[in-house]
Amino acid sequence: MRVIVPCVFAALFASASVAVAAGPEPKSEEQKTFYAIGVLLSGNLSTFNLSKSDLEMVKAGLSDGVLNQKPKVDVNAYRPKIQELQKTRMASVMQRQKQAGAAYAEKTAGQKGASRTASGMVYVPLKPGSGASPAATDQVKVHYKGTLIDGKVFDSSIERGEPVTFGLNQVIRCWTEGLQLMKVGGKSRLVCPSDIAYGDTGRPPVIPPGATLVFEVDLLDIVKP
């Protein structure tokens, strides 16, 4: 398990955390820049699933570090404990995500027109297409929106205003399987369990470990070589 708090990162995050602890509203462009650094770097702690009290301890350690105060613990002795804590917290998050994802998939599978495949994917046609269906080795052009089961958008070609083209053998298994069930011009919802998405590790901080993902996909075209 990779430890995500090397010295340079710790010092940088410490600077941001000291500022955030005082609760100022960023006003100048420089203040907003430092605030943005803090928000971005906080994502690297997402795998620890920190509670408010956990965060207070992290802030205390970061504050002592950046102000060159004597550490209250032997930091080197705690490096293995950091790794173990990260591993334990990630496992806890993964378990909750899988349970919630299974319940969501079960509910979606009960919707009119929905079907569940052998892989566990739930396929919900939203608009029928009239063109051809792609093969697993085809290149396709699509518009899509990807969300977590709570509706939070983590990726969207629609928001970017530009469709994407890729090979169906170059994406997660859920997409490879799901888009072969579609026809050009159609739109479908794919509910993808973690086993056929990003697995037990996820893509922190955006996609939690063990997360079930939901995609709404418009199949615009099959792109010929």
Catalytic sites, residue numbers: 144, 154-155, 172, 198, 215
Separation of alpha carbons 146 and 166, rounded Å? 16
Dihedral sign computed on CA atoms, order 27, 159, 123, 201: negative
Q: Is the peptide bond before 24 cis (omega within 30 degrees of 0)?
A: no
CA-wise closest residue to 190 among 162, 222, 161, 219: 219
Q: How remote is the C-alpha of 35 from its chain's centroid?
A: 22
Query: Token digits for 171?
Result: 């994406």
Q: Tell me the CA distances in angstroms from 175 to 39, 92, 147, 225, one per residue in order.
A: 31, 27, 14, 20
AA letter at 22? A
Q: Where are the beta strands (DSSP E) in 49-198?
A: 115-116, 122-127, 139-148, 153-156, 164-167, 187-192
AA letter at 169? N
